[in-house]
């Protein structure tokens, strides 16, 4: 039996350990369209496809291969060469060949050269933060829901929300707790529906831009601190997802990205601090 064939006898076991294409795309910050393209190109095929509804499923172990594909693609390696590498061709030899090409086009491809040098040197981000499972208390929040065209708009949307809160004389809770919900399944490169939440001491009257609500108590959430740029969040997501699977948990609620330090109070991206919080429960 092929891995992507439907098999009723193992359906329950698979569903406990696999992730729908939308969630897998969101964890890796790629679009569903990208995953389908990589499937068509035989670079990353789902481990299971339900023949009844066509749903594609992926497992956590495929995240490393997907990030490898994305890294090679960012360096300008062709789809055909990526396929050759995945099939066992000499990766280092191919990358060194690419390096020589970049050196010849130094004026326009400096950024590509830096990526190849970094990859060949086996440099990686140090993610030493441990995963912890903790409670998330009930909290009153002021929230702003809006559709944005790029993630960069979050940097302007948050100050706008701050002005609204100031006009309503909101008092922020202590310690401060600001987080974002992504309200549609999967990762989107544009036309993104987001909800920004800021913990406050009391509810005020809603207006046309912000609303107030009480976020419920969460008895268990697997959490990890991410230090640095948002562009490397996928690495912390991979560690967190691996912990959840290896310790007998399953996801049971919306993921939160809580912003502790960022552009508003730190001078460099290396100092930014984000906590990823994923509600979980023990598998039955």
| pLDDT at position 17 over 60 | yes
CA distances from residue 19 to 14, 48, 126, 130, 261 in whole angstroms, order as listed: 9, 10, 26, 23, 31
CATH fit for domain 8-66, picks 3.30.300.30, 1.10.1660.10, 1.10.260.40, 3.50.50.60:
1.10.1660.10
Q: Which residues contact 119 (CB under 8 A, 6 or more apart)?
A: 71, 75, 95
Can you list the positions of beta strands (E) in 102-153? 132-136, 139-148
Mean pLDDT of 135-159: 90
Of the candidates 4, 23, 70, the one whose C-alpha atom is nearest the C-alpha of residue 255 is 23
Q: Determine whether domain 132-282 maps to CATH 3.20.80.10.
A: yes
| pLDDT at position 67 over 50 | yes
The pLDDT assigned to 4 comes to 44
Tokens linked to 127: 């993610």
- Cut 0.85: pTM above it: no
Distance of CA 191 to the CA centre of its chain: 17
The CA distance from 12 to 95, in Å, is 42
Inter-residue contact 204 to 168 (CB < 8 Å): yes
The CA distance from 259 to 229, in Å, is 12
SS3 62: helix
Phi and psi, residue 144, nearest 5°? -130, 120
pLDDT confidence tier of residue 221, bands split at 50, 70 and 90: very high
Of the candidates 128, 130, 95, 125, the one whose C-alpha atom is nearest the C-alpha of residue 113 is 95
Q: Which residues contact 1 (CB under 8 A, 6 or more apart)?
A: 7
| pLDDT at position 233 over 90 | no
| pLDDT at position 46 over 50 | yes
Pairing of strands 256-261, 48-49: unpaired
Residue 187 CB: number of other CB atoms within 10 A? 22
CA distances from residue 215 to 95, 174, 257 in whole angstroms, order as listed: 49, 16, 15
Q: Please state, rounded to an integer, the average pLDDT across all residues of the chain.
A: 84
The pLDDT assigned to 10 comes to 38
The CA distance from 189 to 35, in Å, is 13
Can you list the positions of beta strands (E) in the chain? 18-20, 48-49, 56-59, 132-136, 139-148, 178-182, 192-199, 211-215, 218-227, 249-251, 256-261, 273-282
The pLDDT assigned to 6 comes to 41
Q: At which residue do the structure tokens 């066992």 appear?
A: 88
pLDDT confidence tier of residue 125, bands split at 50, 70 and 90: very low
**Hey, where are the domains in the chain?**
8-66, 75-120, 132-282
């Amino acid at each position: 039996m092929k891995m992507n064939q439907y098999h009723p006898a193992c359906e329950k076991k698979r569903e406990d350990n696999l992730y729908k294409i939308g969630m897998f795309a969101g964890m890796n910050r790629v679009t569903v369209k990208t995953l389908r393209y990589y499937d068509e190109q035989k670079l990353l095929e789902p481990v299971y496809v339900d023949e009844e509804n066509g749903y594609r499923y992926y497992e956590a172990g495929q995240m490393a291969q997907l990030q490898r594909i994305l890294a090679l693609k960012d360096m300008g390696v062709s789809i055909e060469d990526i396929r050759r590498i995945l099939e066992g061709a000499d990766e280092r030899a191919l990358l060194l060949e690419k390096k020589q090409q970049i050196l010849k086009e130094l004026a326009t491809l400096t950024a590509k050269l830096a990526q190849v040098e970094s990859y060949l040197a086996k440099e990686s981000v140090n993610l030493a933060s441990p995963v912890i499972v903790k409670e998330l208390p009930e909290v009153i929040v002021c929230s702003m829901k809006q559709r944005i065209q790029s993630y960069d708009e979050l940097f302007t949307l948050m100050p706008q929300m701050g002005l609204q809160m100031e006009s309503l004389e909101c008092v922020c809770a202590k310690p401060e707790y600001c987080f974002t919900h992504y309200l549609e399944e999967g990762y989107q490169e544009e036309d993104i529906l987001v909800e920004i939440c800021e913990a406050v001491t009391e509810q005020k009257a809603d207006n046309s831009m912000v609303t107030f609500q009480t976020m419920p108590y969460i008895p268990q959430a697997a959490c990890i601190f991410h230090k640095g740029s948002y562009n490397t969040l996928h690495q912390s997501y991979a560690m967190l997802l691996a912990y959840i699977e290896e310790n007998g948990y399953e996801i049971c609620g919306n993921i939160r990205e809580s912003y502790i330090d960022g552009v508003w109070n730190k001078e460099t991206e290396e100092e930014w601090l984000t906590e990823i919080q994923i509600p979980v429960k023990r598998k039955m």
